[in-house]
Structure 1
């Protein structure tokens, strides 16, 4: 198995030629690594989750702030992921199969929660973006590879018939995951198109409330459904918004931009929302992997502290 090597304080080097050699000559090594992976419960003793998200690239989202192709260098992304996963308090990762395969070969997923990203067909900026088909991991693949949960994105636009296709597919996926007793993290948004046709997620309290209500009712059972939700435009609205459902929820991050002040503001939003009774943690990607100041270790450790010190009821 290929391994990621530590090189100095806070840096991990990924041997890309070794990964390519394994993929070329021993592709079965990926399935073997998945079968041998040491698993853990979804929730550890603290009853909360900190998951690092890295499923953006399969949707064609490669930018962070003003850096249009920041996530395009796979070795750099893997090194950041391995570093984040090595930090205390990080429970696991959310990613598409290509990234999870690399992490399996790197030996980075033992005793970590693994969430497989499922619907990535609604490519960023495409005319068919809201017809978000399940081109990623399917429930049977998540079960076969011994991953721990799945994640789907549910964007509902009342002016786009593609949303209905996604809603129906999402409901059947809720059923399929529940039948396997596998948790499914549903990330719902009410989305709207700008006059120029760009898709924007509505983060108003009313829109997030509606999105939560729609997502909570998908499928024939909600027993294994979790919600992955944004903090609203006005964080003070979160307590009222989260009264919409009894499903456990995690908070998502977003693009941190290039301003350290925006990063600090995000931490404060998470700090407040983590105290609410249905919130069980964070699933954050670019804010931790590509922080404005470049310090992945500090960003991850700050998020872990926020999760560890949350005082809301468990």
Structure 2
């Protein structure tokens, strides 16, 4: 594990260096020659979601998480990061975000397991800060729970964020789920319902990208939208080969523009982050 004494000292004594690091960060076009993106996600902790498999507090150590993120971001073929301000700022100070796409996670107020979980308040990035910090877009979780009143406020807030991001020429990454208090509906029909609600948010969809899970019958699911779509690489569980095979197949579909993967790559069963990331990148190169 790296020594983060210098990082802690900067945060205590020279917090202005965060903005300075953002101002000099080397940026890149959203899509490179490959035409697909490999994004590492690290916004789970902000919702109190720290578990990976049987490890309830796997993401509890910020030092270990930063170690794993730095390994992942340094691998060839990794295009960028999706994270909340605290993690983005740590990595800015560590110089790990040059030439990367950086997407700021916006609504993290729906704490995992809370009675207010579906009232997904915007407690992290807002559009003005994403612009000021020279990020490349904002991501919002949009769980449509028909049995929870909190959904109405979330839909309105997401709509506003989509409009504001587009007005500033930035990507609005919408992660829609057809949900209930029992969980997400991950049937093809459920994902199609979620896509149709998510892609209609805001005053324009010109800058909207979708982030959706890989489910059965992805050919039919992807016919529900014309928007650029990133695949959510969830926890492959005890059958990673089957999960990776489904990711590979879905990556070949029209409209799919890459992967957003977090815990599955940062905390693989063998703890070999580099190898897990390289495997995911190889799927893009083969699609």
Question: What TM-score results when the alignment is normalised by the length of structure 1?
Answer: 0.90
Q: Tell me which of 55, 63, 70 is aligned to 1:75.
A: 63
Displacement of 1:290: 0.5
Contact 1:290 1:296 in 2 (8 A): yes
Distance in structure 1 (CA, Å) of the matches to 2:161 and 2:199:
13
1:297 shift after superposition: 0.8
Which stretches in structure 2 are left out of the alignment for 5+ residues? none
Tell whether the 8 Å contact from 1:256 to 1:286 is kept in structure 2 after alignment.
no
Equivalent residues in 2 for 1:147-158 (5 A)? 147-158=135-146
Partner in structure 1 of residue 210 of structure 2: 227
Superposition deviation, residue 149 in structure 1: 1.1
Task: Give the Å deviation of 1:70.
Answer: 0.3
Alignment match, 2:117: 129
Length, aligned pairs only? 287
The alpha carbon displacement at 1:244 in A equals: 0.7
What is the aligned partner in structure 1 of residue 95 from structure 2? Answer: 107
Q: CA deviation at 1:296?
A: 0.7
Equivalent position SS for 2:99: coil
How far did 1:254 drift?
2.0
TM-superposition CA deviations, 1:1-34 (whole Å, max 9, x none): xxxxxxxxxxxx4322111100011101111000
Secondary structure of 1:22's aligned partner:
helix
Q: 1:256: Cα distance to partner?
A: 3.8
The one-character-per-residue Cα deviations of 1:278-307 (angstroms, maximum 9, x if unpaired) are 100000000110012211111100100101
Equivalence for 1:212:
195
**Could you list the runs of 5+ residues in structure 1 that have no partner in the other structure?**
1-12, 195-199
Match of 1:300 in 2: 277
What secondary structure does 2:69 align onto? helix
Is 1:60 aligned with 2:43? Answer: no
Residue 53 of structure 1 aligns to a residue whose secondary structure is strand
Q: Specify the SS of the correspondent of 1:251.
A: strand
Secondary structure of the corresponding residue to residue 244 of structure 1: coil
Cα shift readout 1:131-175 (whole Å, capped 9, x = no counterpart): 001001001100000011110000011111110110011001111
**Structure-2 separation of matches of 1:130 and 1:140:** 24
- The structural deviation recorded for 1:77 is 0.4
Aligned-partner Cα distance in 1 for 2:178–2:270:
32
Q: Counterparts of 1:103 and 1:264 in 2: how far apart (Å)?
A: 31
1:48 corresponding residue in structure 2: 36
> Post-superposition shift, 1:229?
0.2
TM-score (norm 2): 0.98
Q: Aligned partners of 1:167 and 1:265: how far apart in 2? A: 34
